[in-house]
Amino acid sequence: MINRRLFALFAAGLLALGLNAGSARAEAGADQVAAARDFIGSFADKAQKELLADDLSKDEAAKRFGDLLNEGFDIDTIGRFVLGTYWRQASDEQQKTYLDLFGRYLTSVYSSRLAEYRDIGFSLGDARPIGNNDVAVTTNVKTPQGQPAKVEWRVRQKGSAWKIVDVVVEGVSMGASQRSEFASVIQRSGKGVDGLIDALRQRVG
């Protein structure tokens, strides 16, 4: 469902982040920027160790990926953004069902091809505050399949923890791309949010 090149760079970026600690350039909000950079570095290092272990079964890879998504990503915030205006139209039960399926959908889509991204090049670029609450950490990723591309990780502090709220690949927001795709599914179904829920159920099994 997601553009193949964007998917490849997202998956490669997730696995590559822990390879090089690098130095982040902080011009304003230095403490916030440094903390966000440390979060990305430690989270990605854990992702590499857990997801690229030898002899990892498909089921175990999916489970570990799902656990990491819930740990490092703000799935509820991303899910609400992706649903857009339809979120306010959905009932409480629809919202709950959708968020559960959305997390399972992300796990299914991205965990299925992790083994393809072992041989990757990586360098860490700058980190900077964006908006009032977020920090963008930029990385440059090169996969065996293509030229280097910029992958930007947008993170937000939630209480005492940091969470990833979007990934921007070559200037394209993965959240915005998924939002457009889900809106199209809803419109084509003629069933509103239930149409998307049905589609997600079919995708995750």
List the single range of 52-56, 81-85, 155-159, 182-186 with lowest mean pLDDT. 52-56
In this predicted structure, what is the pLDDT of residue 90?
Answer: 97
Q: What are the Cα distances from residue 83, in Å, to 41, 78, 158, 179, 193?
A: 29, 9, 21, 6, 9
* CATH code of the domain covering residue 109: 3.10.450.710
Burial class (CB in 10 A: 0-12, 13-18, 19+), 196: buried
Stronger pLDDT, 140 or 20, i.e. the higher one: 140
Stronger pLDDT, 162 or 139, i.e. the higher one: 162
Q: Which domain holds residue 32?
A: 4-204
When pLDDT is cut at 50, 70 and 90, the band that residue 86 belongs to is: very high
Mean pLDDT on 37-60? 77
- 167, two tokens: 């990934």
In this predicted structure, what is the pLDDT of residue 176?
Answer: 92
Ranges of H-type helices in the chain: 4-16, 30-51, 58-72, 75-83, 86-89, 92-111, 174-189, 193-204
In this predicted structure, what is the pLDDT of residue 121?
Answer: 62
Mean pLDDT on 14-29? 42
Task: Tally the residues of the chain.
Answer: 205
In total, how many domains does the chain have?
A: 1
Q: Is the pLDDT of residue 204 over 70?
A: yes
User: What is the percent of the chain with per-residue pLDDT over 70, rounded to a whole number?
Assistant: 76
